[in-house]
Amino acid sequence: MPIQVLMPALSPTMEKGNLAKWLKKEGEPIKSGDVIAEIETDKATMEVEATDEGTLGKILIPEGTADVAVNTPIATILADGESAADLAKAASPAKQEKAAESAPPAQAKAEAPAPKAEEKVPAAPKAVSEPEAEVPAGTEMITQTIREALRDAMAEEMRRDPDVFLMGEEVAEYQGAYKVSQGLLQEFGARRVIDTPITEHGFAGIGVGAAMAGLKPIVEFMTFNFAMQAMDQLINSAAKTLYMSGGQMGCSIVFRGPNGAAARVAAQHSQDYSSWYSHIPGLKVVAPFSAADYKGLLKAAIRDPNPVIFLENEVLYGHSGEVPKLDDYIVPIGKARVARKGQHVTIISWSNGMTYSLKAADELAKEGIEAEVVDLRTLRPMDTETIVASIQKTGRAVTVEEGWQQSGVGAEVAARIMEHAFDYLDAPVTRVSGKDVPMPYAANLEKMALPSVAEVVEAAKAVCYR
Partner 1 sequence: MAAPKKSVTKDSGQEKGDGSPPEFTKEQELKALRDMLLIRRFEEKAGQLYGMGAIGGFCHLYIGQEAVVVGMQMTLKKGDQVITGYRDHGHMLACGMDAKGVMAELTGRRGGYSKGKGGSMHMFSVAEHFYGGHGIVGAQVSLGTGLAFANRYRENDFVSLAYFGDGAANQGQVYESFNMAELWKLPVVYIIENNRYAMGTSVTRSSAQTDFSKRGISFNIPGRQVDGMDVRAVKAAGEEAVAWCRAGKGPYILEMQTYRYRGHSMSDPAKYRTREEVEKVRHDQDPIEQVRNRLLAADVSEQDLKSIDAEVRDIVNAAADFAQHDPEPDPSELYTDVYR
State yes or no: residue 247 binds partner 1 (CB under 8 A).
Answer: yes
Site stretch for partner 1 (CB under 8 A), options 151-159, 277-285, 286-294, 391-399: 277-285
Q: How many binding residues for partner 1 (CB under 8 A)?
A: 39
Q: What is the DSSP string of 404-433?
A: -STT-HHHHHHHHHHHHHGGG-SS--EEE-
What minimum distance in Å lies between the beta carbon of 158 and partner 1?
A: 13
Report the distance separating Cα 4 and Cα 359, nearest Å. 34
Q: Which of 87, 141, 215, 388 forms a contact with partner 1 (CB under 8 A)?
A: 215
319 as an active site residue: the answer is no
Strands (E), 288-377: 307-312, 320-324, 337-340, 345-349, 371-375
Helix (H) or strand (E) holding 47: strand 45-49
Gyration radius (Cα) of the chain, Å: 24
Q: How far apart are alpha carbons 397 and 389 in whole angstroms? A: 12
Q: Amino acid identity, residue 62? A: P
385 binds partner 1 (CB under 8 A): no
CB of 201 to partner 1, least distance (A): 4
Residue among 211 and 354 whose Cβ is closer to partner 1: 211
38, HSE (Cβ side, Cα atoms, 13 Å):
7
CB of 331 to partner 1, least distance (A): 18
Nearer to partner 1 among residue 249 and residue 445 (C-beta) = 249
Please report, as residue ranges, which positions from 301 to 320 form the binding site for partner 1 (by CB under 8 A).
Answer: 305-306
CA 156 and chain centroid, separation = 21
Q: Which of 47, 157, 200, 312 is catalytic?
A: 200
Secondary structure class of 16 (helix, strand, coil): strand
Given 201, 269, 279, 420, the catalytic residue: 269
Q: What is the Cα–Cα distance from 320 to 334, expressed in whole angstroms?
A: 24
Binding to partner 1 in span 217-236, by CB under 8 A: 232-233, 236
Site for partner 1 in 432-461 (CB under 8 A): none
Q: How far apart are the C-alpha atoms of 115 and 107, rounded to whole Å?
A: 18
CB of 351 to partner 1, least distance (A): 22
- Binding mask of the shown chain, residues 193 to 212, with x at each position contacting partner 1 by CB under 8 A: ---xx-x-xxxxxxxxxxxx
CB 231, min distance to partner 1, A = 11
**Does the footprint of partner 1 cover residue 191 (CB under 8 A)?**
yes
Q: Is 141 in the site for partner 1 (CB under 8 A)?
A: no
Segment contacting partner 1 (CB under 8 A): 23-31, 41-49, 240-248, 262-270?
Answer: 240-248
> Active-site residue 134, yes or no?
no
User: In what helix (H) or strand (E) does residue 298 lie, and over which residues does it extend?
Assistant: helix 291-303
Q: Which SS3 state, helix, strand or coil, does residue 78 take?
A: strand
Q: Is 179 exposed, middle or buried (0-12, 13-18, 19+ CB in 10 A)?
A: buried
Residue whose CB is less far from partner 1, 98 or 240: 240
Q: Which 3 state secondary structure label does DSSP give 350?
A: coil
User: Which stretch, 34-42, 177-185, 213-221, 264-272, contacts partner 1 (CB under 8 A)?
Assistant: 213-221
Residues annotated as catalytic (active site), given as ranges? 200, 269
Q: Which residues bind partner 1 (CB under 8 A)?
A: 165, 191, 196-197, 199, 201-215, 232-233, 236-237, 241-250, 281-282, 284, 305-306
